[in-house]
Amino acid sequence: MKRSILAAALIAAFTAPAAAHVTLETGEARAGGYYKAVFRVPHGCDGAATTRISIRIPEGVIAVKPQPKPGWVETTRIGKYVQTYENHGKTLTAGVVEVTWEGGPLADDRFDEFAFHAKLPNDPEIMMLFFPVAQTCEKGATNWDEIAMPGTDPHSLARPAPMLHLSHDGMPAHHH
């Protein structure tokens, strides 16, 4: 019995810090497919309630449609793409580059999820996408925007941006 309690305590100790970050519910998706990005916000800022969540959309992610959320007002910022994209027979040169939800508030001792639907890039050179998140609270703010460079352990980052692994040709994405 003592071993199972100790094991549970160790598991909680090593998994709790990861749960403190804004993360994607599903961290892997098929390149070129449509994807529902669900961002989990596990807490506020040093005890203060969250009042705003902004997510920057990486280049290549197109046709972004935010999910409405009761008690929150969602807005999108439109910008030019670096390159053009085809979607349903249309050429796209601009689109949503940021989605923001304002309202709530989301108390520090509660969690919530914010979502949008989008089409992912189908470029075999793109293995991972990063979605920097700005979390604003009644007092303070946190930017979840650190991106692990090659050779860096993403778990070593204090404020990692949510990351999505892309799978190509039906093969599972690599999580390294």
Residue 6 has pLDDT above 50, yes or no: no
Report the distance separating Cα 152 and Cα 147, nearest Å: 9
Q: Is 148 contained in some domain?
A: yes
pTM of this structure: 0.83
Among residues 95, 116, 109, the alpha carbon closest in space to that of 53 is found at 116
Q: Is 81 contained in some domain?
A: yes
Q: Is 17 contained in some domain?
A: no
Per residue in 81-112, pLDDT (tens digit) is 999 999 999 999 999 999 999 999 999 999 99
Alpha carbons within 13 angstroms on the beta-carbon side of residue 159 total 11
Q: Are strands 128-130 and 50-56 parallel, antiparallel or unpaired?
A: unpaired
pLDDT at 4: 37
Q: What percent of the chain has pLDDT over 90?
A: 77
CATH number for the domain including 125? 2.60.40.2230
Extract the runs of DSSP E, i.e. beta strands, from 123-168.
Answer: 128-130, 133-137, 141-144, 163-167
Sign of the C-alpha dihedral computed for residues 124, 126, 128 and 129 taken in this order:
negative
Q: Is 15 contained in some domain?
A: no
Average pLDDT over residues 30-56: 96
Tell me which residue range forms the domain holding 103.
22-167
Q: Is 70 contained in some domain?
A: yes
Per residue in 105-133, pLDDT (tens digit) is 999 999 999 999 999 999 999 999 999 99
- The three-class DSSP label of residue 3 is helix
pLDDT at 162: 96
Q: Is 175 contained in some domain?
A: no
pLDDT-derived band at 170, boundaries 50, 70, 90? low
Q: Is 173 contained in some domain?
A: no
The total of structural domains in the chain comes to 1
- The three-class DSSP label of residue 145 is coil
Q: Is 90 contained in some domain?
A: yes
